Amino acid sequence: MMEIGMLWFDNDPIRSLSTKVQTAAAYYLQKYGQEPNLCFVHPSMLPEEKDCAGAVSIVTNSTVLPNHFWIGVEQLEGLPA
């Protein structure tokens, strides 16, 4: 579960999904000082339900708009954020 994250937009048709997520993850690390490990994308952006880009798990969520990435740190159940 991820309650807080960063919204990233990238509609470059040439770059791969993995590259886009890794770019967003690098920015997240620079801005917040913590490596993200979870990214939600629109189902149309990922041919399969779950994938990875380096250490970041990519999961589909129909509430995320196409070309948008909701990226952050997954919180484990029962642990404070």
In the chain, how many domains are there? 1
Instruction: Give the model confidence (pLDDT) of 18-48 as tens digits.
Output: 999 999 999 999 999 999 999 999 999 987 7
Asked whether 2 and 69 are in contact (CB, 8 A), the reply is no
Q: Do residues 23 and 80 lie in contact, with contact meaning Cβ atoms separated by under 8 Å?
A: no
Which pLDDT score, from 0 to 100, does residue 9 have? 98
DSSP structure class, residue 55: T
pTM over 0.75: yes
Residue 78 lies in a domain: no
Residue 60 CB contacts under 8 Å (≥ 6 apart), including other chains: 40, 41, 42, 43, 45, 46, 49, 50
pLDDT of 23: 97
Residue with the bigger pLDDT between 80 and 31: it is 31
- Residue 77 located in a structural domain: no
Distance CA 55, CA 14 (A): 22
Residue 31 lies in a domain: yes
Q: What is the pLDDT confidence band of residue 80, given thresholds at 50, 70 and 90?
A: low
Domain that holds residue 28: 5-72
